[in-house]
């Protein structure tokens, strides 16, 4: 996923309620840097990768399967 990107953020498990945000960076120290929308305002957050699920806010376009024949 390229940054910045609009994302849905889940904490601890993917069954909870998603928060909208914008992924700004992925830190090598093990954190996502995200602007979270909380209560109508944006909050800069560092979220631990090990306990955070990030999904793209918009689904990707469906692609047709391409049959490749090696000759």
Q: Is 12 domain-assigned? A: yes
Closest by CA position to 5, among listed 63, 55, 61, 60: 55
Q: How confident is the model at residue 5 (pLDDT cuts 50, 70, 90)?
A: very high
Question: Which of 2-6, 13-17, 55-59 is predicted with the least confidence, judged by mean pLDDT?
Answer: 13-17
pLDDT at site 1: 73
Residue range 8-48, pLDDT digits in tens:
999 887 778 889 999 999 999 999 999 998 888 899 999 99
Q: Is 66 domain-assigned? A: no
Structure tokens at 16: 């909870």
Q: Is 18 domain-assigned? A: yes
Stretch 61-65: mean pLDDT, rounded? 75
- The domain tally of the chain equals 1
Q: Is 67 domain-assigned? A: no
In angstroms, the Cα distances linking 5 to 36, 64, 65, 69 are 12, 25, 26, 35
Total count of residues recorded for the chain: 71
């Amino acid at each position: 996923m390229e940054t910045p990107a609009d994302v849905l953020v889940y904490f601890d498990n993917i069954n909870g309620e998603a928060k909208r945000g914008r992924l700004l960076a992925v830190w090598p120290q093990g954190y996502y840097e995200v602007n979270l929308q909380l209560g109508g305002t944006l909050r800069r957050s560092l979220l631990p990768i090990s306990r955070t699920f990030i999904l793209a806010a918009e689904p990707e376009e469906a692609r047709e399967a391409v049959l490749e024949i090696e000759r």
